[in-house]
Structure 1
Amino acid sequence: MISKKILFYFFGIFFLSASVVYGQGISISNTMNRNYQSLNGKWNYILDPYETGGMGGRAIIENYIPKDKSDRVEYGFASGKTLWVPGSWNMQHPELTYYEGSLWYRRSFDMSQMKEDKRYFIYLGAANYKTTVSINGKEIGQHEGGFTPICFELTSHLKEKDNQLIVGVNNSRADDNIPSKVTDWFNHGGIIREVKVLEVPETFINNYFLKLEKSSLGLKRKQIQGKLQLSGSELPEFAHISIPELNMDYKIKLNNNKEVAFSFDVKNLKLWSPENPKLYKVILEAGKDRMEDLIGFRTVETKGKEILLNGKPVFLKGICLHDENPLREDRANVEEDAALVLNWAQELGCNFIRLAHYPHQEKLVRMADQRGILLWEELPLYWGIQWDNPQVLEKAKQQYTELINRDYNRASTIIWSIANETAPIPARNQFLSELADYIRSVDDSRLISAACKKDQELDGHPDAVYTYNDPIMDKLDIISLNEYLGWYGGLPEECRKKTFKMGKEKPVIVSEFGGGAMQGFHGDSLTRWSEEFQEYLYKESIEMFDQIDGLVGMTPWILVDFKSPLRQLPEVQDGWNRKGLISEKGQKKKAFYQLQQYYNTK
């Protein structure tokens, strides 16, 4: 008789049940500065195209091995069938290029140095899209969301030798996913970011949140506000936070609470900015736990039609970016990937990057801290979202919680965006309004925006004035807009006829504009797909947008060509979105220099 557990796997409920509790587990921030054992490298795998979770009457997570020559088993993790982790499965084997479905990874590891007074957690930087984690035949958690961290406790399930970690990942597209079924980027499946086993004390600091209080900006003694979260059963009486460079040591009385807010004053604080990306070593201690981080302190707010960084107006010279290394056609997952694109952005003259359309790898965000590059971060609340589905709203809140927990202490991140190119309807307006309120409730130290649509959506763009009165703008600190006049509708010269009128007195960012060009293809300025056409489009677009009242920045679409199944024009696109200023081989197009010239004047 087949057990109920096996039936559970066979009928696909394993990945697809609406009863799954999303975001189970624990949030642990700053994992790269903790003790850990890396599990990156080659993993064995089994395809599960029918999404059963089991084969031959056994669940895959059991990793069953025949007991003798008569024993029957109908699956196995073959030694020669491997995938590199981190990395998308699509780019590693030709037969997996467009595979969407379930795949099971296995990694064996030892814990010979395991200590009785420690706790152990499995941490995955991200896996796309639905993930189930098991250890030694025991399922320990499920997670939904393709770009935020996953963390579950292993402590009671570990042994010294031959631990069997099996991770199931399903990248199937679905109407109630975030993103939904259709996106203009490649659906990289699998464990796309690093995997590690964390070692922490029995009671440890799992999260901490530090910010510079805006009201103290003009004072000699500035106030740092913070919150500390602990995990464990036996809490110490006090925690400590110190910043050695500032000769600051502050004692936090816990009063037997696992979460406590605090504040302290500091003198001679140097503020973080693009011109001076000052980071301080911050040390946090509680009981036997000791954490170090590099943190910058700055304020960001709006005043009228300006964005103020540390109380001074800033113009955001930006670009959009996908989280890919185009040279190896894979998700970005190492520091070299981050350095590659940040070098290009800084050569372009950028002080700002829109991380589209989902959370990027943490290594890039930390490198932006070091280099003084401001960031816009967002979830893929994009085309086709089920705005009237309460579960989807809860998924958005959960994924934003995971992102904020990861990046709260990064000075570079100044904007959370809640949507891209979504049409105003009552259900959408309510969804985004509630999400904006939620984000402010957990992080009021950053600005909120969304890429809005103009009021008119008629072919040919007949109106000389583009107006913006999206109801969600009431909830935004910054109005952002995507406008592709000259590429989708009309020719670049039509930009000279257009002006913009905003329904709110708020700062404006042009969050997308541009057009495609095949690097190395040349023609005159009206030859579609030529570098000259893209260059001309950038020239006319920049002149048009530069006239917007309240313009505080722009992030043209996009720094580098990126993979997209929606783009299939033979010998031009071939599965690539060609709107990049740089080709997938790293070669700059003429429009790169057009934008660079503009940024050099700002």
Structure 2
Amino acid sequence: MNATKATLFCIILFVATFLQAQTTPGLLPLIQNPQGRHFMSLDGKWNYILDPMNNGLSANGYFKEPHVDNKTTFKEYDFSTSPTLNVPGDWNTQNATLLNYEGSMWLKKAFLFHPQSGMRYFIYFGAVNYRAIVYLNGEKIGEHIGGFTPFNVDATSQLKEGENSLIVWVNDTRQADGVPTLKYDWFNYGGITRKVRLLEEPATFIENYKIQLQKKSLHHVAGYVQLNGTTPSQAVTVSIPELKLVRTFTTDAKGYVAVNLNLPAKQLILWSPQTPKLYEVTIATKDDTVKDDIGFRSIETQGRDILLNGKPVFLKGISIHDEAAYRNGRIFSASESKILLTWAKELGCNYVRLAHYPHNEDMVRTAEKMGIMVWEEVPNYWDIEWNNPETYANSLNQVSEMISRDQNRANVIIWSMANETPQTPARNRFLSNLVDYTHTHDNTRLVSMAMLRGDKSHNLLSVNDSMANKVDVISFNEYVGWYEGDNSRIDQVSWQIDYNKPLIISEFGAGAVAGLHGSPTERWTEEYQAEFYRKTLKMIDERMPKIAGMSPWILKDFRSPLRVLPHIQDGFNRKGLISDQGQKKEAFYVLQAWYKHK
């Protein structure tokens, strides 16, 4: 593509992004830290109606919900007598008949409320997969695209005294122009999969903030506070009681103020896996107060090292999907997140790759308290419509919402832009723009992506990706011994990777059925998987350039419609070190022993 066409494409991407922000009704800047605010939970039983033909989207659709006697006047639906589902929760695993349903569903929550004069109200959704249109008392108040990031809609003008009716149209049909696109290696759980809260805020409130250490500093905070409302210019106080620090700032005419704080270096305990220290931080105006538990740490690179708080750290990791142990549905509680993270800690991990999309906020916050570093990712997975401006705008919005939600989490050290994407000029432009956006909006973390290999010869393996000059960390997936030859192939290869940047093996792994035993040369047995790990770890020790960390694939077996081998896969990816029912395979202990001495 020549320079003129490339410039035109960038302009189109910008316009598409701008138009999406301007034309999506009710889609507002994300309100950060909903659990630290005044809210009413809207979780619980919601009535639902299946609508595979989208009949309810007509002008007088299901969201209007007129009250009729169904004798002299009728309607052909009734939420009040319809079945219920738990929210948060996916519909697939709550009702066996819905396991493989993809399409539209209407969900309704009736609730009593008493709005207070002068207050503003927002409905905050942790995530809805994949498209959502939100109606309150018969009127549309917002919509959202993207199945793994939060959004909030303004409900102030539509809330009423007494009983209110919240209805959400949800559609999880895979789209060719979607992010992710039509084909991916995990289960498409539909529904309102994360918590729903009704937030109560004053006329001018604290919308967003960043209180994190400045890049390359171990004691200086360089952040901001953003207000939303009719009185944007006012005093904002930031305090950290444990450090006896109180500072007051004044926002500008747009409600924004830069926050600069010098933390007492001698008293400050930096966040790390060994000392996952969090400080209570209070941000207050005359009308609003938000509290958050925030840790302070520095993350940067030096040659092939990743430096945590100025010192090299090796990322002893594992990849994880946002799927619950035992019941194999979308995770919707902190306790289910903790089960997986506890297994990761038992394995010896100080780090997890949350693949291949932003996980629930409880997962990130629980990991932070447990001293586990985190890689977060948006689902630019395999191949998407790289030349489509709307697809780019969708991806950019997911990046923005991911950063906005978790920019104060000390354990989040890597933002990942993609996984296993084939190299093309269009893909390079798409991802380069995302990397530039991410570096601009958060330069305190590292940016990476899981790349494919680019070998020098049959037995000399390497990475050769044109995005390598854009990212901070070179990450790559490799499956020598599984998709490429058998275990003997691992002994035949060596590596040469020329980039002077930290290297992370973002994936490697082999499948095994828990309890299936046999020869180390017999695929799908625990012995084969264990031998794969022994040989791969020896290869890392002896024939691979220095790496800064790794996140083998994967902690737990997970659902995937791509995996159809009868009596072996049965709809599950079996590369887990632990089965979907919690059985630890032999390879778990092989990796555990290696991490113990690393």
Q: Same fold per TM (> 0.5)?
A: yes
Give me the whole-angstrom Cα distance separating, in 2, the residues matched to 1:384 and 1:422: 6
Give me the whole-angstrom Cα distance separating, in 1, the residues matched to 2:242 and 2:310: 24
- 1:273 is paired with a residue whose SS is coil
For residues 55-74 of structure 1, the aligned pairs below 5 Å read 58-66=60-68, 69-74=71-76
**Counterparts in 2 of 1:338 and 1:593: CA distance versus 1, 3 Å:** same
Give me the whole-angstrom Cα distance separating, in 2, the residues matched to 1:59 and 1:71: 16
Give me the whole-angstrom Cα distance separating, in 2, the residues matched to 1:134 and 1:414: 37
Q: Does 1:576 align with 2:572?
A: yes
Whether the 8 Å CA contact 1:271–1:296 is kept in 2: the answer is yes
Instruction: Give the aligned partner of residue 232 of structure 1.
Output: 229
- Give the aligned residue type for 1:357: H
- Give the aligned residue type for 2:28: G
For residues 152-551 of structure 1, the aligned pairs below 5 Å read 152-217=153-218, 222-235=219-232, 237-267=234-264, 268-456=267-455, 463-546=458-541, 547-551=543-547
The structural deviation recorded for 1:326 is: 2.9
The structural deviation recorded for 1:456 is: 4.1
Instruction: Give the aligned partner of residue 24 of structure 1.
Output: 27
The CA deviation string for residues 384-414 of structure 1, in whole angstroms up to 9 with x for no partner, is 2111111111111111111111000000100
Whether the 8 Å CA contact 1:206–1:230 is kept in 2: the answer is yes
Give me the whole-angstrom Cα distance separating, in 2, the residues matched to 1:489 and 1:216: 44
Give me the whole-angstrom Cα distance separating, in 2, the residues matched to 1:550 and 1:286: 49
- 1:591 is paired with a residue whose SS is helix
Whether the 8 Å CA contact 2:170–2:191 is kept in 1: the answer is yes
Instruction: Choose from 100, 104, 107 the match for 2:106.
Output: 104
The structural deviation recorded for 1:359 is: 0.4
Whether the 8 Å CA contact 2:217–2:298 is kept in 1: the answer is no
Give me the whole-angstrom Cα distance separating, in 2, the residues matched to 1:243 and 1:381: 38
Give me the whole-angstrom Cα distance separating, in 2, the residues matched to 1:479 and 1:577: 26
- 1:49 is paired with a residue whose SS is coil
Instruction: Give the aligned partner of residue 79 of structure 2.
Output: 77
The structural deviation recorded for 1:377 is: 0.3
The CA deviation string for residues 516-571 of structure 1, in whole angstroms up to 9 with x for no partner, is 10000000101111000000001111111234223011100000000001111111
Give me the whole-angstrom Cα distance separating, in 2, the residues matched to 1:393 and 1:160: 41
Question: Percentage identity across aligned positions?
Answer: 47
Q: Normalization by structure 2: what TM-score?
A: 0.94
Give me the whole-angstrom Cα distance separating, in 2, the residues matched to 1:516 and 1:22: 45
Give me the whole-angstrom Cα distance separating, in 2, the residues matched to 1:18 and 1:212: 30
The CA deviation string for residues 123-181 of structure 1, in whole angstroms up to 9 with x for no partner, is 11000000000100000111000000020011111112110000011000011100000
The structural deviation recorded for 1:469 is: 1.7
The CA deviation string for residues 262-304 of structure 1, in whole angstroms up to 9 with x for no partner, is 2021212211101111110000001210011100000100001
The CA deviation string for residues 198-248 of structure 1, in whole angstroms up to 9 with x for no partner, is 11111110110111124433xxxx211111111110235210000001110
Whether the 8 Å CA contact 1:508–1:550 is kept in 2: the answer is yes
Whether the 8 Å CA contact 1:481–1:509 is kept in 2: the answer is yes
The structural deviation recorded for 1:80 is: 4.5
- Give the aligned residue type for 1:577: N
Q: Normalization by structure 1: what TM-score?
A: 0.93
The structural deviation recorded for 1:25 is: 2.3
Whether the 8 Å CA contact 1:349–1:596 is kept in 2: the answer is yes
**Counterparts in 2 of 1:596 and 1:385: CA distance versus 1, 3 Å:** same
Give me the whole-angstrom Cα distance separating, in 1, the residues matched to 2:398 and 2:484: 35
Give me the whole-angstrom Cα distance separating, in 1, the residues matched to 2:588 and 2:332: 25
Instruction: Give the aligned partner of residue 3 of structure 1.
Output: none
Give me the whole-angstrom Cα distance separating, in 2, the residues matched to 1:39 and 1:491: 51
- 1:354 is paired with a residue whose SS is strand
- 1:89 is paired with a residue whose SS is coil
Whether the 8 Å CA contact 2:215–2:443 is kept in 1: the answer is no
Q: Quick check: which one's strand share is greater?
A: 1
Instruction: Give the aligned partner of residue 96 of structure 2.
Output: 94
Give me the whole-angstrom Cα distance separating, in 2, the residues matched to 1:556 and 1:237: 49
Deviates more, 1:566-575 or 1:350-359: 566-575
Deviates more, 1:22-31 or 1:262-271: 22-31
- 2:532 is paired with a residue whose SS is helix
Instruction: Choose from 556, 559, 583 the match for 2:555.
Output: 559
- Give the aligned residue type for 1:25: L
Give me the whole-angstrom Cα distance separating, in 2, the residues matched to 1:319 and 1:167: 35
**Counterparts in 2 of 1:330 and 1:20: CA distance versus 1, 3 Å:** farther
**Counterparts in 2 of 1:529 and 1:68: CA distance versus 1, 3 Å:** closer
For residues 141-152 of structure 1, the aligned pairs below 5 Å read 141-152=142-153
- 1:103 is paired with a residue whose SS is strand
Give me the whole-angstrom Cα distance separating, in 2, the residues matched to 1:543 and 1:481: 18
The structural deviation recorded for 1:431 is: 0.7
**Counterparts in 2 of 1:591 and 1:22: CA distance versus 1, 3 Å:** farther
Give me the whole-angstrom Cα distance separating, in 1, the residues matched to 2:323 and 2:205: 34
- 1:542 is paired with a residue whose SS is helix
Give me the whole-angstrom Cα distance separating, in 1, the residues matched to 2:538 and 2:309: 29
- 2:429 is paired with a residue whose SS is helix
Give me the whole-angstrom Cα distance separating, in 2, the residues matched to 1:448 and 1:399: 15
Give me the whole-angstrom Cα distance separating, in 1, the residues matched to 2:232 and 2:416: 37
The CA deviation string for residues 466-486 of structure 1, in whole angstroms up to 9 with x for no partner, is 122210011011111101111
Give me the whole-angstrom Cα distance separating, in 2, the residues matched to 1:520 and 1:237: 64
Which runs of 5 or more structure 1 residues have no equivalent in the other structure?
A: 1-16
Give me the whole-angstrom Cα distance separating, in 2, the residues matched to 1:138 and 1:249: 44
- Give the aligned residue type for 1:489: E
Whether the 8 Å CA contact 2:123–2:154 is kept in 1: the answer is yes
Which runs of 5 or more structure 2 residues have no equivalent in the other structure?
A: 1-19
- Give the aligned residue type for 1:152: V
Whether the 8 Å CA contact 1:203–1:287 is kept in 2: the answer is no
Whether the 8 Å CA contact 2:122–2:153 is kept in 1: the answer is yes
- Give the aligned residue type for 1:72: F
RMSD: 1.7
Aligned residues: 576
The structural deviation recorded for 1:18 is: 13
